[in-house]
């Protein structure tokens, strides 16, 4: 069976600073970082557990045509990643310490687990929680 993975791809105005912040605040690890011209990032891959995001400075003409930063569109989002973490309380504390803007405080979820929502320094909204839909018994009957 072929493995299929989905990896969110994000564009940051200050991609080098975003990489540092995402690693500090969320616990991502740099897998690959390809510098671009003038202090930009041509491409980066950050991992967290067995998940990965890709990001860059979005300096190509195509990326400028296809993407907009949250700050450019009134802070709105067209997608928001959800990341499963083992200890949402510890993750929440680390994110707050790093200066994350809390959008929804940590709470028990009606559908199981515990989670919270925040915005990173460039306005992207992230959801973190212990609810794992792959482990939900209704979605994965015995």
75: alpha, beta or left? (left if phi > 0; alpha if psi -120 to 50): left
pLDDT of residue 122: 95
In whole angstroms, give the CA distance from residue 74 to residue 66: 17
pLDDT of residue 5: 79
pLDDT of residue 6: 84
39: alpha, beta or left? (left if phi > 0; alpha if psi -120 to 50): left
In whole angstroms, give the CA distance from residue 110 to residue 73: 31
One-character DSSP codes across 41-88: EEEEEEEETTEEEEEE---SHHHHHH---GGGGTT--S---EEE-S-H
pLDDT of residue 33: 98
Residue with tokens 């993407």: 67
Instruction: Tell me the whole-structure pTM to 2 decimals.
Output: 0.87
Rg, C-alpha atoms of the chain: 16
pLDDT of residue 79: 87
pLDDT of residue 141: 53
14: alpha, beta or left? (left if phi > 0; alpha if psi -120 to 50): beta
Taking the chain (142 residues) in consecutive chunks of 10 residues, what is each chunk's mean pLDDT? 80 97 98 97 96 94 89 90 95 96 95 94 95 72 53
């Amino acid at each position: 069976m072929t493995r299929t993975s989905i990896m969110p791809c994000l564009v940051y105005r200050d991609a080098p600073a975003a990489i540092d912040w995402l690693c500090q605040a969320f616990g991502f690890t740099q897998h690959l970082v390809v510098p671009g011209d003038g202090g930009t990032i041509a491409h980066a891959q950050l991992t967290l557990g067995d998940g990965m995001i890709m990001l860059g400075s979005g300096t190509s003409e195509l990326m400028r045509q296809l993407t907009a930063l949250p700050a450019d569109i009134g802070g709105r989002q067209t997608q928001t990643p959800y990341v499963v973490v083992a200890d949402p309380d510890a993750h929440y504390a680390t994110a707050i310490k790093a200066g994350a803007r809390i959008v929804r405080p940590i709470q028990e979820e009606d559908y199981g687990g515990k989670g919270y929502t925040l915005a990173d320094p460039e306005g992207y909204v992230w959801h973190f929680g212990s609810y794992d839909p792959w482990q939900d018994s209704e979605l994965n009957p015995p």
